[in-house]
Chains A and B, each alone.
Chain A
Amino acid sequence: ETGVTQSPTHLIKTRGQQVTLRCSSQSGHNTVSWYQQALGQGPQFIFQYYREEENGRGNFPPRFSGLQFPNYSSELNVNALELDDSALYLCASSLDGNEQFFGPGTRLTVL
Chain B
Amino acid sequence: EDQVTQSPEALRLQEGESSSLNCSYTVSGLRGLFWYRQDPGKGPEFLFTLYSAGEEKEKERLKATLTKKESFLHITAPKPEDSATYLCAVQTFGSGTYKYIFGTGTRLKVLA
Contact = CB atoms under 8 A, between A and B. Distances in A.
A58 interface: yes
B99 A45 contact: yes
Interface string A34-64: 0100001111110010000001111000000
Chain A interface size band reads 20 to 34
Interface stretch (A11-19, A67-75, A79-87, A98-106): A98-106
Interface in B4-55: 4, 32, 34, 36, 42-46, 49
A90 interface: yes
B29 to A, nearest CB: 12
B56 to A, nearest CB: 17
B98 A48 contact: yes
A105 B102 CA distance: 16
A44 B43 contact: no
Contact of A42 (B32, B42, B104): B104
B46 A99 contact: yes
B105 interface: yes
Contact of B98 (A35, A40, A56, A90): A56
Contacts of A25: none
Interface of B: 4, 32, 34, 36, 42-46, 49, 87, 89, 91, 96-105
Interface of A: 4, 33, 35, 40-45, 48, 55-58, 90, 92, 97-105
